[in-house]
Amino acid sequence: MKRQNNLDKKVKTYLDQEFSGVGESQQLYELKEELTVNLKEKARDFEKEGKSEDEAFKQATHSMGDLTGLKEDMRRHGEDQTKKEIYTSMASRVSAAGLIVGILVIVFGALTTAMLYFMGLPGVAVTGPAIFVVAGGALVTYSLLTRETRKYYAMRKGRALLYALAIGIILFSLFVAFTSGLATGEVFIAISSFMVFFIIGLGLWLTLLFTQQTSRRK
C-alpha cells in the first residue's frame, strides 16, 4: 500500500509539473487521467523486470516520449474559451437529457408497479415493471458521473459506464429478490437470488471506488 501511495504521488507530481501553466479544462483532466493509468502500468511492468521503484518510474516517464505536442493542444483548449464553453454545453445537454429520461423511466416503473399492486394482480406480475427502475437507475448514474459541474470534472465515459453497470446490477439484485420471493413464497430463495447479483455489483463498485486514479475535484 505504501509503495502504491508513493507511485501515486510521483505520477501526480510529474504530470502537474509537465502541464504547469496549462489552463485547466475537461480535456486536460481526461488526458491526465489517461496518462496516469499508462504511467502506473509502465512503472509496474519495469518493476517486474527487476528495476527499483525509482528506476522503474524514471523509465516509465522516459517511455512516454515528448509531451510538447499534447501540452500545446491542452494549452489551446484552456485558452480557447469559446471552444471550451461549446464542449461543456454539449456535454451538459447530453447529461441533462440522460438524467431526465432516467428519472422518467424510474417514475414510470415505480408507478406502474404500484398500479398493478393495487389492482390485486399476482406478485410476479406486479414486480415485472420494476425492471424499468433498474434501467433508469443505471442511466441516472451514468448521466450524473459524466456531467461536469462547478466543483467536479466529468468522469471518463468508460469508467462511468462501469459505475452505471455496478449500480444496475445492485438494483437488479433487489428486483430478482422480490420477484423470486413472491413467485416461490420462500424467503431463502429470495435471499440467495439477491446475494449472487448483489455481491457481483458491490464487488465491481468497490473495485472502481478503490482504483480511482485522479481526483475529479477542480
pLDDT band at 83; cut points 50, 70, 90: low
User: CA 14, 20, 24, 28: dihedral to nearest 10 degrees?
Assistant: -40
pLDDT band at 77; cut points 50, 70, 90: low
Helices and strands (H and E) in the chain: how many: 9, 0
Which amino acid makes up residue 60?
A
Q: Residue 65 — φ and ψ, nearest 5°?
A: 80, -165
Q: Residue 213 carries which DSSP code?
A: -
Please give the full DSSP string across 109-133, using - where no structure is assigned.
HHHHHHHHHHTT--HHHHHGGGHHH
User: Which cell numbers hold the place of 83?
Assistant: 471552444
Residue 132 in contact with residue 105, Cβ under 8 Å? yes
| Strand, coil or helix: 56 | helix
Whether pLDDT at 78 is above 90? no
First to last CA, the chain: 26
Question: How far apart are alpha carbons 56 and 39 in whole angstroms?
Answer: 10
Which range scores top for mean pLDDT: 33-37, 94-98, 107-111, 125-129? 107-111
Residues in the chain: 218
Query: pTM of the predicted model, to two decimals?
Result: 0.71
Average model confidence (pLDDT) for the chain? Answer: 87
Element (H, E) at 39: helix 26-48
pLDDT at 178: 92
Could you count the other beta carbons within 10 Å of the beta carbon of residue 1?
5
Given the C-alpha cell 390485486, which residue does it identify?
120
Residue 182 in contact with residue 193, Cβ under 8 Å? no
Q: Residue 217 carries which DSSP code?
A: B
- What's the rounded mean pLDDT across residues 133-144? 97
